[in-house]
Amino acid sequence: MERLYWTEPTRFELEVDVTALTDRRITIDPILFHPEEGGQPADTGQVGDATVMGVHLVNGQIVLSLDKPLGSGKHLARLDRKHRLHTASQHSAQHILSGLADTRFNLKTVGVHIGLERSTIDFETTVDWSSAQTLESCAMEVVMENLVIETVFNDTAVRSRFDLKHIDSELIRVVKIGQYDASACCGAHVHRTGDIGIIRVVDLETRKQGTRLSFIAGPKALAFSQTETSVLRSLRQLSHCATEELPGMLQKQWDRSAALSKAVDGLYDQMLPTLVNTAVVVETEGSKTGIQVNTLPGKLSGKLAALMADHVQGSGVVVSDTSICIHSKTMMAKELLQRLHDAVGGRGGGSPHAASGMLAEVLTREQIVSILQAPKNRHSGSWLKTEG
Protein backbone atom coordinates (compact mmCIF):
# COMPACT_ATOMS: atom_id res chain seq x y z
CA MET A 1 0.00 0.00 0.00
CA GLU A 2 1.17 3.49 -0.79
CA ARG A 3 2.11 5.70 2.14
CA LEU A 4 0.98 9.07 0.90
CA TYR A 5 2.71 10.87 3.75
CA TRP A 6 6.03 9.70 2.25
CA THR A 7 5.42 10.69 -1.35
CA GLU A 8 2.86 13.52 -1.20
CA PRO A 9 3.35 15.40 2.07
CA THR A 10 1.17 18.30 0.92
CA ARG A 11 -1.89 16.09 0.39
CA PHE A 12 -4.29 16.67 3.31
CA GLU A 13 -7.46 15.07 1.97
CA LEU A 14 -8.59 12.53 -0.62
CA GLU A 15 -10.97 9.66 -1.22
CA VAL A 16 -9.64 6.35 0.11
CA ASP A 17 -10.67 2.70 0.02
CA VAL A 18 -11.67 1.67 3.53
CA THR A 19 -11.40 -1.93 4.72
CA ALA A 20 -13.21 -2.49 8.02
CA LEU A 21 -11.29 -4.85 10.31
CA THR A 22 -13.81 -4.56 13.14
CA ASP A 23 -16.59 -1.97 13.45
CA ARG A 24 -14.22 0.76 14.71
CA ARG A 25 -10.87 -0.33 13.30
CA ILE A 26 -10.02 0.14 9.65
CA THR A 27 -7.17 0.21 7.13
CA ILE A 28 -7.20 2.72 4.28
CA ASP A 29 -5.61 2.80 0.81
CA PRO A 30 -3.69 4.91 0.05
CA ILE A 31 -2.37 5.53 3.55
CA LEU A 32 -2.89 9.20 4.39
CA PHE A 33 -2.36 9.03 8.16
CA HIS A 34 1.08 8.76 9.74
CA PRO A 35 1.06 6.25 12.63
CA GLU A 36 2.67 6.74 16.02
CA GLU A 37 6.17 5.69 15.02
CA GLY A 38 9.80 6.77 15.10
CA GLY A 39 9.22 9.20 17.98
CA GLN A 40 6.61 11.18 16.01
CA PRO A 41 3.00 11.46 17.25
CA ALA A 42 0.26 10.01 15.01
CA ASP A 43 -1.82 12.13 12.63
CA THR A 44 -5.36 13.03 13.60
CA GLY A 45 -8.37 13.81 11.40
CA GLN A 46 -11.50 12.19 9.96
CA VAL A 47 -12.50 9.34 7.66
CA GLY A 48 -16.07 9.74 6.45
CA ASP A 49 -17.94 11.10 9.49
CA ALA A 50 -15.75 9.19 11.95
CA THR A 51 -12.95 10.83 13.94
CA VAL A 52 -9.56 9.14 13.96
CA MET A 53 -8.68 8.40 17.60
CA GLY A 54 -5.39 6.58 17.02
CA VAL A 55 -3.12 5.30 14.24
CA HIS A 56 -0.97 2.27 15.06
CA LEU A 57 1.28 -0.21 13.35
CA VAL A 58 -0.24 -3.66 13.91
CA ASN A 59 1.59 -6.63 12.40
CA GLY A 60 3.03 -4.47 9.63
CA GLN A 61 -0.34 -2.83 8.84
CA ILE A 62 -1.29 0.78 9.59
CA VAL A 63 -4.57 0.52 11.49
CA LEU A 64 -6.85 3.48 12.30
CA SER A 65 -9.04 3.44 15.43
CA LEU A 66 -12.26 5.43 15.05
CA ASP A 67 -14.79 6.96 17.45
CA LYS A 68 -17.71 5.31 15.62
CA PRO A 69 -18.26 2.37 13.25
CA LEU A 70 -17.43 2.83 9.55
CA GLY A 71 -18.16 0.28 6.81
CA SER A 72 -15.83 -0.81 4.03
CA GLY A 73 -15.96 1.17 0.78
CA LYS A 74 -14.94 4.59 -0.50
CA HIS A 75 -14.82 7.46 2.01
CA LEU A 76 -13.28 10.91 2.17
CA ALA A 77 -10.22 11.02 4.47
CA ARG A 78 -9.14 14.40 5.89
CA LEU A 79 -6.05 15.13 7.97
CA ASP A 80 -6.01 17.67 10.80
CA ARG A 81 -3.79 19.98 8.81
CA LYS A 82 -2.57 22.12 11.71
CA HIS A 83 -1.59 19.06 13.76
CA ARG A 84 0.24 17.47 10.80
CA LEU A 85 2.09 20.70 9.95
CA HIS A 86 3.18 20.95 13.57
CA THR A 87 4.51 17.38 13.91
CA ALA A 88 5.99 17.42 10.39
CA SER A 89 7.74 20.75 11.08
CA GLN A 90 9.24 19.43 14.33
CA HIS A 91 10.35 16.24 12.61
CA SER A 92 11.84 18.04 9.58
CA ALA A 93 13.65 20.46 11.91
CA GLN A 94 15.06 17.46 13.75
CA HIS A 95 16.54 16.11 10.49
CA ILE A 96 18.20 19.45 9.81
CA LEU A 97 19.56 19.81 13.36
CA SER A 98 20.78 16.18 13.55
CA GLY A 99 22.34 16.35 10.07
CA LEU A 100 24.17 19.63 10.79
CA ALA A 101 25.22 18.44 14.26
CA ASP A 102 26.75 15.36 12.65
CA THR A 103 28.60 17.08 9.80
CA ARG A 104 29.59 20.36 11.51
CA PHE A 105 30.10 19.33 15.12
CA ASN A 106 30.65 15.57 14.87
CA LEU A 107 27.70 15.08 17.25
CA LYS A 108 25.84 11.80 16.82
CA THR A 109 22.10 11.70 17.47
CA VAL A 110 21.20 8.77 19.71
CA GLY A 111 17.57 9.58 20.52
CA VAL A 112 14.70 11.73 19.27
CA HIS A 113 11.33 12.70 20.68
CA ILE A 114 8.81 14.75 18.72
CA GLY A 115 6.42 16.34 21.20
CA LEU A 116 3.25 18.37 20.83
CA GLU A 117 4.79 21.29 22.75
CA ARG A 118 8.56 20.85 22.35
CA SER A 119 10.84 18.20 20.91
CA THR A 120 14.20 16.82 21.94
CA ILE A 121 17.33 15.37 20.37
CA ASP A 122 19.75 13.34 22.50
CA PHE A 123 23.40 13.65 21.47
CA GLU A 124 26.02 11.08 22.33
CA THR A 125 28.48 13.64 23.72
CA THR A 126 28.30 17.00 25.47
CA VAL A 127 27.42 20.24 23.66
CA ASP A 128 27.91 23.76 25.02
CA TRP A 129 25.30 26.51 24.69
CA SER A 130 27.36 28.55 22.22
CA SER A 131 27.64 25.55 19.85
CA ALA A 132 23.90 24.94 20.23
CA GLN A 133 23.24 28.53 19.16
CA THR A 134 25.56 28.16 16.16
CA LEU A 135 23.66 24.99 15.28
CA GLU A 136 20.40 26.95 15.50
CA SER A 137 21.74 29.66 13.15
CA CYS A 138 22.94 27.06 10.62
CA ALA A 139 19.55 25.32 10.81
CA MET A 140 17.77 28.62 10.06
CA GLU A 141 19.98 29.06 6.97
CA VAL A 142 18.71 25.68 5.73
CA VAL A 143 15.13 26.84 6.37
CA MET A 144 15.83 30.00 4.32
CA GLU A 145 17.25 27.93 1.44
CA ASN A 146 13.74 26.46 1.08
CA LEU A 147 15.03 23.08 -0.13
CA VAL A 148 12.66 20.30 -1.17
CA ILE A 149 12.66 17.50 1.42
CA GLU A 150 13.00 14.46 -0.85
CA THR A 151 12.00 10.86 -0.37
CA VAL A 152 14.15 8.28 -2.19
CA PHE A 153 13.98 4.51 -1.85
CA ASN A 154 16.56 1.84 -1.18
CA ASP A 155 19.58 4.12 -0.86
CA THR A 156 21.48 2.12 1.70
CA ALA A 157 24.46 4.47 1.98
CA VAL A 158 22.72 6.58 4.59
CA ARG A 159 22.57 6.78 8.32
CA SER A 160 19.64 5.36 10.21
CA ARG A 161 18.57 7.01 13.43
CA PHE A 162 15.42 5.07 14.02
CA ASP A 163 14.43 1.55 14.69
CA LEU A 164 13.09 0.45 11.30
CA LYS A 165 12.15 -3.10 12.21
CA HIS A 166 8.41 -2.36 11.97
CA ILE A 167 8.51 -1.53 8.28
CA ASP A 168 6.58 -4.25 6.53
CA SER A 169 8.62 -4.49 3.34
CA GLU A 170 12.15 -4.64 2.06
CA LEU A 171 11.71 -1.04 1.02
CA ILE A 172 14.03 1.41 2.77
CA ARG A 173 12.77 4.97 2.61
CA VAL A 174 15.41 7.67 2.78
CA VAL A 175 14.78 11.34 3.51
CA LYS A 176 17.22 13.78 1.88
CA ILE A 177 17.57 17.47 2.61
CA GLY A 178 20.09 18.85 0.09
CA GLN A 179 23.64 18.29 1.31
CA TYR A 180 22.59 18.51 4.94
CA ASP A 181 20.95 15.22 5.75
CA ALA A 182 20.18 11.84 4.27
CA SER A 183 18.77 9.33 6.68
CA ALA A 184 16.48 6.36 6.70
CA CYS A 185 13.20 7.49 8.19
CA CYS A 186 9.57 6.42 8.29
CA GLY A 187 8.03 9.74 9.41
CA ALA A 188 6.00 12.55 7.88
CA HIS A 189 7.81 15.75 6.89
CA VAL A 190 6.97 19.10 5.34
CA HIS A 191 7.42 19.57 1.59
CA ARG A 192 10.10 22.26 1.72
CA THR A 193 12.41 23.44 4.50
CA GLY A 194 10.87 26.92 4.21
CA ASP A 195 7.53 25.47 5.37
CA ILE A 196 9.10 25.02 8.84
CA GLY A 197 9.35 28.80 9.21
CA ILE A 198 11.34 28.97 12.46
CA ILE A 199 13.62 26.60 14.35
CA ARG A 200 14.46 27.63 17.92
CA VAL A 201 16.87 25.79 20.20
CA VAL A 202 15.30 26.47 23.60
CA ASP A 203 17.31 24.45 26.12
CA LEU A 204 20.25 22.15 26.77
CA GLU A 205 20.36 19.60 29.55
CA THR A 206 23.38 17.54 30.52
CA ARG A 207 22.44 13.88 30.80
CA LYS A 208 24.34 11.01 32.37
CA GLN A 209 25.83 10.48 28.95
CA GLY A 210 25.77 13.29 26.41
CA THR A 211 23.32 16.17 26.08
CA ARG A 212 19.59 16.60 25.49
CA LEU A 213 18.77 19.53 23.21
CA SER A 214 15.22 20.89 23.29
CA PHE A 215 13.87 22.68 20.25
CA ILE A 216 10.60 24.03 18.87
CA ALA A 217 9.78 24.57 15.20
CA GLY A 218 7.01 26.34 13.31
CA PRO A 219 4.26 28.58 14.78
CA LYS A 220 4.83 27.25 18.31
CA ALA A 221 8.44 28.46 18.08
CA LEU A 222 7.14 31.97 17.39
CA ALA A 223 4.69 31.73 20.31
CA PHE A 224 7.52 30.56 22.59
CA SER A 225 9.80 33.42 21.52
CA GLN A 226 6.99 35.96 21.99
CA THR A 227 6.40 34.74 25.55
CA GLU A 228 10.10 34.98 26.36
CA THR A 229 10.33 38.46 24.81
CA SER A 230 7.35 39.63 26.90
CA VAL A 231 8.93 38.23 30.08
CA LEU A 232 12.26 39.91 29.31
CA ARG A 233 10.50 43.20 28.57
CA SER A 234 8.75 43.07 31.98
CA LEU A 235 12.04 42.22 33.71
CA ARG A 236 13.76 45.17 31.99
CA GLN A 237 11.00 47.52 33.15
CA LEU A 238 11.24 46.18 36.73
CA SER A 239 15.03 46.36 36.82
CA HIS A 240 15.60 49.52 34.74
CA CYS A 241 18.38 47.85 32.79
CA ALA A 242 19.13 46.31 29.38
CA THR A 243 18.49 42.61 28.64
CA GLU A 244 22.22 41.83 28.70
CA GLU A 245 22.50 43.37 32.19
CA LEU A 246 19.66 41.27 33.68
CA PRO A 247 21.72 38.23 34.81
CA GLY A 248 24.27 40.47 36.59
CA MET A 249 21.47 42.55 38.13
CA LEU A 250 19.65 39.43 39.37
CA GLN A 251 22.86 37.96 40.82
CA LYS A 252 23.53 41.25 42.62
CA GLN A 253 20.02 41.18 44.14
CA TRP A 254 20.40 37.54 45.21
CA ASP A 255 23.73 38.32 46.90
CA ARG A 256 22.20 41.35 48.64
CA SER A 257 19.19 39.31 49.79
CA ALA A 258 21.48 36.58 51.21
CA ALA A 259 23.58 39.19 53.06
CA LEU A 260 20.45 40.86 54.50
CA SER A 261 19.06 37.49 55.64
CA LYS A 262 22.30 36.79 57.42
CA ALA A 263 22.24 40.21 59.10
CA VAL A 264 18.59 39.73 60.18
CA ASP A 265 19.44 36.30 61.62
CA GLY A 266 22.30 37.91 63.57
CA LEU A 267 19.93 40.55 64.99
CA TYR A 268 17.38 37.93 66.01
CA ASP A 269 20.17 35.94 67.62
CA GLN A 270 21.02 39.00 69.73
CA MET A 271 17.34 39.30 70.71
CA LEU A 272 17.12 35.74 72.05
CA PRO A 273 18.06 36.58 75.69
CA THR A 274 15.39 39.33 75.73
CA LEU A 275 12.81 36.89 74.29
CA VAL A 276 13.72 34.37 76.98
CA ASN A 277 13.08 36.99 79.69
CA THR A 278 9.82 38.28 78.21
CA ALA A 279 8.25 34.85 77.66
CA VAL A 280 4.96 34.11 79.39
CA VAL A 281 5.64 31.44 82.01
CA VAL A 282 2.81 29.16 83.12
CA GLU A 283 2.58 26.24 85.51
CA THR A 284 1.70 22.96 83.84
CA GLU A 285 1.25 20.14 86.32
CA GLY A 286 3.84 21.46 88.70
CA SER A 287 6.34 22.23 85.97
CA LYS A 288 7.15 25.64 84.43
CA THR A 289 6.64 26.29 80.71
CA GLY A 290 7.85 29.43 78.88
CA ILE A 291 5.82 30.42 75.79
CA GLN A 292 6.70 32.77 72.90
CA VAL A 293 4.45 33.22 69.85
CA ASN A 294 5.34 34.76 66.45
CA THR A 295 8.37 36.67 67.61
CA LEU A 296 11.10 35.33 65.32
CA PRO A 297 11.77 33.29 62.14
CA GLY A 298 10.99 29.56 62.36
CA LYS A 299 14.59 28.46 61.96
CA LEU A 300 15.57 30.02 65.34
CA SER A 301 12.59 28.46 67.16
CA GLY A 302 14.50 25.41 68.34
CA LYS A 303 17.29 27.53 69.78
CA LEU A 304 14.86 29.82 71.65
CA ALA A 305 12.80 26.87 72.96
CA ALA A 306 15.99 25.26 74.36
CA LEU A 307 17.08 28.56 76.00
CA MET A 308 13.65 29.04 77.58
CA ALA A 309 13.53 25.45 78.90
CA ASP A 310 16.94 26.04 80.43
CA HIS A 311 15.92 29.41 81.89
CA VAL A 312 12.73 28.16 83.61
CA GLN A 313 14.23 24.73 84.33
CA GLY A 314 11.11 23.31 82.72
CA SER A 315 9.82 23.54 79.14
CA GLY A 316 10.00 26.09 76.30
CA VAL A 317 7.27 26.38 73.64
CA VAL A 318 7.91 28.51 70.53
CA VAL A 319 5.24 28.97 67.85
CA SER A 320 5.86 30.74 64.52
CA ASP A 321 2.67 30.94 62.47
CA THR A 322 1.61 27.25 62.49
CA SER A 323 5.03 25.70 63.11
CA ILE A 324 5.86 24.71 66.67
CA CYS A 325 9.02 23.76 68.54
CA ILE A 326 9.20 22.47 72.13
CA HIS A 327 12.19 21.69 74.34
CA SER A 328 11.90 20.33 77.87
CA LYS A 329 14.17 19.68 80.86
CA THR A 330 11.30 17.86 82.58
CA MET A 331 10.70 15.39 79.74
CA MET A 332 7.33 16.83 78.72
CA ALA A 333 8.07 18.02 75.15
CA LYS A 334 6.21 15.27 73.30
CA GLU A 335 3.30 15.39 75.76
CA LEU A 336 2.86 19.19 75.44
CA LEU A 337 2.84 18.90 71.65
CA GLN A 338 0.26 16.11 71.90
CA ARG A 339 -1.99 18.33 74.07
CA LEU A 340 -1.95 21.06 71.41
CA HIS A 341 -2.59 18.51 68.65
CA ASP A 342 -5.49 17.02 70.65
CA ALA A 343 -7.01 20.48 70.95
CA VAL A 344 -6.63 21.85 67.41
CA GLY A 345 -5.09 19.09 65.25
CA GLY A 346 -1.77 19.08 63.41
CA ARG A 347 1.20 16.82 62.81
CA GLY A 348 4.69 16.21 64.12
CA GLY A 349 6.38 14.39 66.94
CA GLY A 350 9.65 13.98 68.80
CA SER A 351 11.02 12.82 72.13
CA PRO A 352 10.30 13.75 75.80
CA HIS A 353 13.27 16.16 75.46
CA ALA A 354 12.41 17.87 72.13
CA ALA A 355 9.42 17.86 69.78
CA SER A 356 8.36 19.84 66.72
CA GLY A 357 5.65 19.93 64.08
CA MET A 358 2.76 21.94 62.69
CA LEU A 359 -0.52 23.10 64.23
CA ALA A 360 -3.67 22.86 62.12
CA GLU A 361 -4.41 26.54 62.75
CA VAL A 362 -2.74 29.75 63.92
CA LEU A 363 -3.13 30.15 67.72
CA THR A 364 -2.70 33.20 69.93
CA ARG A 365 -0.50 33.10 73.02
CA GLU A 366 -3.64 33.19 75.20
CA GLN A 367 -5.12 30.16 73.44
CA ILE A 368 -1.90 28.20 73.89
CA VAL A 369 -1.74 29.09 77.59
CA SER A 370 -5.36 28.02 77.99
CA ILE A 371 -4.81 24.67 76.28
CA LEU A 372 -1.63 23.87 78.24
CA GLN A 373 -3.21 24.84 81.59
CA ALA A 374 -6.50 22.97 81.08
CA PRO A 375 -6.85 19.84 83.25
CA LYS A 376 -5.44 16.78 81.47
CA ASN A 377 -8.75 14.88 81.05
CA ARG A 378 -10.55 17.80 79.43
CA HIS A 379 -8.54 17.83 76.22
CA SER A 380 -10.48 16.95 73.12
CA GLY A 381 -10.77 18.06 69.53
CA SER A 382 -13.60 20.37 70.54
CA TRP A 383 -11.51 22.55 72.89
CA LEU A 384 -12.07 25.84 71.07
CA LYS A 385 -15.85 25.33 70.93
CA THR A 386 -16.36 24.19 74.54
CA GLU A 387 -14.10 26.82 76.09
CA GLY A 388 -15.64 29.59 73.95
| Site residues for Zn ion per CB under 5 A | 175, 185, 187
Identify which of residues 140 and 185 has a Cβ nearer to Zn ion in the complex. 185
What is the nearest approach in angstroms of Zn ion to the Cβ of residue 184?
9
Determine the 3-state secondary structure of 112 from DSSP. Answer: strand
- Beta strand 45-47 with 50-58 is antiparallel
> Between the CA of residue 13 and those of 4, 51, 151, 162, what are the distances in Å?
10, 14, 20, 28
Identify which of residues 185 and 317 has a Cβ nearer to Zn ion in the complex. 185
- What is the edge-to-edge ordering of all strands in the sheet holding 199-206? 109-113, 119-123, 211-217, 199-206
What is the nearest approach in angstroms of Zn ion to the Cβ of residue 107?
18
Identify which of residues 95 and 288 has a Cβ nearer to Zn ion in the complex. 95
Residue nearest to Zn ion (CB): 185
Strands (E), the chain: 13-22, 25-29, 45-47, 50-58, 61-66, 73-79, 109-113, 119-123, 149-153, 159-160, 173-177, 181-184, 199-206, 211-217, 280-284, 287-293, 315-320, 323-328, 346-350, 354-359
Identify which of residues 9 and 48 has a Cβ nearer to Zn ion in the complex. 9
- What is the edge-to-edge ordering of all strands in the sheet holding 173-177? 149-153, 173-177, 181-184, 159-160
Alpha helices in 240-380 (DSSP H): 246-277, 301-312, 333-344, 365-373
Identify which of residues 186 and 369 has a Cβ nearer to Zn ion in the complex. 186
Phi, psi of 99 (to 5 degrees): -65, -45
What is the nearest approach in angstroms of Zn ion to the Cβ of residue 95?
5
Identify which of residues 46 and 151 has a Cβ nearer to Zn ion in the complex. 151
Instruction: Single out the residue of 341, 337, 384, 335 nearest to residue 360, CA to CA.
Output: 341
Identify which of residues 154 and 377 has a Cβ nearer to Zn ion in the complex. 154
What is the nearest approach in angstroms of Zn ion to the Cβ of residue 187?
4
Q: How far apart are CA 100 and CA 182, in angstroms?
A: 11
What is the nearest approach in angstroms of Zn ion to the Cβ of residue 94?
7
What is the nearest approach in angstroms of Zn ion to the Cβ of residue 224?
22
What is the nearest approach in angstroms of Zn ion to the Cβ of residue 254?
44
Identify which of residues 185 and 291 has a Cβ nearer to Zn ion in the complex. 185
Q: How far apart are CA 215 and CA 97, in angstroms?
A: 9
